[in-house]
Amino acid sequence: MILVVAILVPSFIGAALAVAYVYVEQQKDQERSIAETGRAFALLIDNEMRHQEGILRTLAASPALAAGDFGEFYQHARRAAGAVDAVAVLYDLDGKPILNTRRPLGVALTGRDPSNLPALMERFGAARTLVSDVFYAPPVQRYDFMMQVPVLVDGEPRYHLVLGLHVGILQQLLERQDFPKAWIATVFDRNGRIAARSSDPRHYVGTLLREKTRKLAATTDRDLVFPSHTLTGVPVRAQITTVPNSGWKVLIAIPSAEIRRVPLEAAALLAGMMAVLLVLAIAAGRWFASRAVAPIEYLGRCADRLADGEEIPYRPHGLEEIDTVAWRMVEASKQIRRSKRDLEHRVNEAILATEQAQGALLRGQKLESLGRLTAGIAHEFNNLLQTLTTALQLAAMQAKEPNLQRLIDTCKRTVTRATTLTGQLGSFGRVQEGRLVTVDTAAQLGSALQLIRGAVADSVEIETGFAPALWPVRVEPLQFDLALLNLAINARDAMGGSGRLAIAARNATLDHPPEGLPSGDYLLLTVQDEGAGMAPEVLARALDPFFTTKSPGQGTGLGLPQAYAFATQAQGLLTLHSTPGKGTRVQIYLPRAQEDELAAPAAAAETVPSVQGIAPDVVAPAPVQSPAAGVTVLFVEDDVLVREAVVEALAAAGFAVRVAENGEAALVELERDHAIDIVFSDIVMPGSVSGIDLAGAVSERWPTLPVVLATGYTDRRVSIPGVKILAKPYDVEQLIGLLGRLSGRR
């Protein structure tokens, strides 16, 4: 008995203290809830004001308004204001109305609307957004308020744009908050005039708050809590919160009886629960003591098994507390086992992802190595082909026998084929500016179709849809044909060797192009098949080099990457769209080239390199011209065979030739001999001065001295005004004609 009393007395004292504490804390929580609710609702009103201000700012930035096109601006403003049941009014700086969206355009307008915006402009200035107080608008017979922003034209204020809004938008916002019925939420302006009220708004909107409340609200912009009475005389605890940026305020009022009721009920509930618990605890204490020892020991053994990571097979003992803990231990053991399995699975996935990433890195390194290898091979082969080309042309000039001439022609055709094959090595390197030409798209498509029809089976039906008057594009013709051929072969394989392949081309002016492209004019190529399509995971990797779903030996995984590289090198874009079971659509966007640049795709082109991103000009080869005697050419070439052949050709054409083996020697020769009329140099040379560096030095120190650069392959872009570029192997007649024109121009 003494033990029970010793337990109960402290328990009752603790219960009484807990009830008192809960009562006090509930009152504090109630006041904090009012304050937080008021601030949150004030922010909602501010957001609504900002939304309406955004509409005004958008209208104020209208190009039509800046241009003085009031007719077009009137239509824009009328649609925007009508969407929010508002009126837009445009005033000049003297306050004279120019247009009103509730009145026809051109009707004479006089006076301002009955708001206090003029007074606010005098107080705060006209350079900021102003929100008027509530006023009664006779034309629509309702209470409105206005929002005004300045309209800047060329950085200077030109007009004032006003949006007249119905206070109903604030009432709708208030009704959506679902305040408790006993609470009274009120929105009022700087003068204390009610704009929205949660209780009986029709009766109170437009009326003034009590004078005492208005005076308190006008004294500070901080949150204010005070006792008050409603307009109907009910005692309340009120919270006033200022709406940011507008000077309006929110009043949250809770009846005093409601504030006391909640903590009293909570305290009473807690007191009752604690009393019941104390009684039950006394009754259950003795019963539990007799039964708790064995289950607790069993629970301890289960805890040991849990520590060893084993799954616990627990049987209930009839004690809710112990059984609850035990079942949680059972669930914890299962969760530990699941987490262990998940961890193992994630580790395996991480290992697999790492292996895949390493594989992708290795493939990227292989592709980079392949690009460097093909670039070097292309450069060396082009030097060899240049020697052969020049020698064959010189031999053709001197050959008199027809049989010998036919053999030379055969060799020339062979060199042409070798040039084409060498060009294919550049599929994955940077495109050579010397090979970029502006082509007739229709003619180039015709050339590509011949290749495609020869590569796909007759069972593949090729359907073409080429729009008339296709715009020209600036591309490397070989890569153009190769890209379409790769896409056609992929389509053929996806359709199992038979089906319909659609190839279309049209002009497209894109105001909103795909990501990565600027707006402008583009040629849009579309290749679409009826094949099996690609799953999303395959589509995500389709453009990765060496990725293929074909059987080993059936595909290299370089077809789509080549087409993608071609589009990128042409400053365009390739996009893929595929649906499993429905086929694949590939679209290539190529920028439109200027038609006055148009050149025959198959011809060797003379190019003017790009300056500040402008595509190089293309000029068709000129006929052979015999330059005037005494024209001195400085020929810079590190390859001995190329030097011997080209020097002989230039000398035969009448040029006086100075030879330099590298860029450093060329600069020394230029400093020594000022009689040089033109510089003709290779781009890639040993030493610290490349052909591009040499051209830059000549342009800076001897700006009137013409420079022609020849390239077999280079990964540097030429951006020096006036420098001409020839792609190796170049035609000797073309070279002689170009040098003759440039020396004559000088």
DSSP string, 145-167: EEEEEEEEETTEEEEEEEEEEET
Residue 606 exposure: Cα atoms within 13 Å on the Cβ side:
21
> Would you state the structure tokens that stand for residue 356, as one six-digit string?
């895949």
Looking at residue 12, its pLDDT comes to: 66
Residues 60-88 have a mean pLDDT of 90
Is the pTM of the predicted complex or chain greater than 0.85? no
The end-to-end CA distance of the chain, in Å, is 125
Looking at residue 399, its pLDDT comes to: 62
Residue 282 covered by a domain: no
CA nearest neighbour of 450 among 488, 400, 402: 488
**172 or 559, higher pLDDT:** 172
Looking at residue 521, its pLDDT comes to: 94
Number of domains within the chain: 4
Looking at residue 426, its pLDDT comes to: 55
Residue 153 covered by a domain: yes
Q: Give me the phi and psi of 377, to 5 degrees please.
A: -65, -45
**398 or 450, higher pLDDT:** 450
Q: Clarify whether residues 551 and 645 are in a common domain.
A: no
User: Do residues 209 and 249 make contact, with C-beta atoms less than 8 angstroms apart?
Assistant: no
Distance CA 48, CA 43 (A): 9
Q: Clarify whether residues 644 and 725 are in a common domain.
A: yes
Which residues touch 577 (CB under 8 Å, ≥6 apart)? Answer: 584, 585, 586, 587
User: Do residues 249 and 267 make contact, with C-beta atoms less than 8 angstroms apart?
Assistant: no
> Would you state the structure tokens that stand for residue 463, as one six-digit string?
């359907």
Q: Clarify whether residues 173 and 105 are in a common domain.
A: yes
Which stretch of 28-42, 228-242, 606-620 has the lowest confidence by average pLDDT?
606-620
pLDDT above 70 coverage of the chain, percent: 77
Q: Grade residue 618 by pLDDT with cuts at 50, 70 and 90.
A: very low
Distance CA 177, CA 272 (A): 34
Q: Grade residue 1 by pLDDT with cuts at 50, 70 and 90.
A: very low
* pLDDT above 60: residue 606: no
Q: Clarify whether residues 576 and 628 are in a common domain.
A: no
Q: Which helix (H) or strand (E) holds 74?
A: helix 70-83
Position 92, amino acid? D
Looking at residue 506, its pLDDT comes to: 95
For residue 157, cis peptide bond before it (omega within 30 degrees of 0):
no
Q: Clarify whether residues 658 and 690 are in a common domain.
A: yes
User: Do residues 434 and 603 make contact, with C-beta atoms less than 8 angstroms apart?
Assistant: no
Looking at residue 369, its pLDDT comes to: 61
* pLDDT above 50: residue 419: yes
Residue 4 covered by a domain: no
218, 245, 273 — which closes off a domain? 273
Domain that holds residue 679: 606-745
Q: Clarify whether residues 80 and 106 are in a common domain.
A: yes
Please report, for the domain that includes residue 80, its CATH number.
3.30.450.20
- 15: exposed, middle or buried (Cβ count in 10 Å: 0-12, 13-18, 19+): middle
Which stretch of 189-203, 224-238, 703-717 has the lowest confidence by average pLDDT?
703-717
Distance CA 283, CA 612 (A): 92
Looking at residue 310, its pLDDT comes to: 73
Q: Grade residue 652 by pLDDT with cuts at 50, 70 and 90.
A: confident
* pLDDT above 90: residue 143: yes
Distance CA 151, CA 93 (A): 10
* pLDDT above 60: residue 81: yes
Q: Label residue 680 left, alpha or beta by phi (over 0 means left) and psi (-120 to 50 means alpha).
A: beta
Q: Which helix (H) or strand (E) holds 586?
A: strand 583-591
**680 or 746, higher pLDDT:** 680
Which stretch of 351-355, 423-427, 494-498 has the lowest confidence by average pLDDT?
423-427
394, 421, 448 — which closes off a domain? 421
**498 or 610, higher pLDDT:** 498
Q: Where are the alpha helices (DSSP H) in 309-401?
A: 320-398
Q: Clarify whether residues 51 and 196 are in a common domain.
A: yes
Residues 405-409 have a mean pLDDT of 66
Residue 427 covered by a domain: no
Residue 463 covered by a domain: yes
Q: Is 587 helix (H, G, I), strand (E, B) or coil?
A: strand
Residue 533 covered by a domain: yes
**50 or 20, higher pLDDT:** 50
548, 571, 597 — which closes off a domain? 597
Please report, for the domain that includes residue 699, its CATH number.
3.40.50.2300
Q: Clarify whether residues 145 and 222 are in a common domain.
A: yes
Size of the chain in residues: 746
Please report, for the domain that includes residue 456, its CATH number.
3.30.565.10
CA distances from 351 to 21, 22, 345, 393, 414 (A): 57, 55, 10, 61, 52
Residues 297-305 have a mean pLDDT of 73
CA nearest neighbour of 714 among 501, 478, 429, 321: 429
* pLDDT above 70: residue 599: no
Q: Clarify whether residues 593 and 619 are in a common domain.
A: no
Q: Grade residue 609 by pLDDT with cuts at 50, 70 and 90.
A: very low
Q: Clarify whether residues 52 and 81 are in a common domain.
A: yes
Interval 151-165: pLDDT, tens: 998 888 999 999 999
* pLDDT above 50: residue 621: no
The distance of Cα 244 from the centroid of its chain, to the nearest Å, equals 34
pLDDT above 90 coverage of the chain, percent: 23
Looking at residue 724, its pLDDT comes to: 84
Position 624, amino acid? V
User: Do residues 601 and 625 make contact, with C-beta atoms less than 8 angstroms apart?
Assistant: no
Q: Clarify whether residues 157 and 40 are in a common domain.
A: yes
Q: Grade residue 469 by pLDDT with cuts at 50, 70 and 90.
A: very high
User: Do residues 425 and 712 make contact, with C-beta atoms less than 8 angstroms apart?
Assistant: no
Q: What is the mean pLDDT of the chain?
A: 79
Q: Clarify whether residues 374 and 450 are in a common domain.
A: no
Q: Give me the phi and psi of 307, to 5 degrees please.
A: -65, -30
Residue 78 covered by a domain: yes
* pLDDT above 70: residue 199: yes
User: Do residues 155 and 219 make contact, with C-beta atoms less than 8 angstroms apart?
Assistant: no
Residue 283 covered by a domain: no
Interval 315-354: pLDDT, tens: 676 667 677 877 777 778 788 878 878 888 888 888 876 7
Interval 515-544: pLDDT, tens: 889 999 999 999 999 888 888 888 888 887
Which stretch of 618-627, 696-705, 722-731 has the lowest confidence by average pLDDT?
618-627
Cα torsion angle, 272, 276, 278, 279, sign: positive
Interval 697-709: pLDDT, tens: 898 899 889 999 8
Residues 621-632 have a mean pLDDT of 55
**90 or 320, higher pLDDT:** 90
Distance CA 655, CA 736 (A): 9
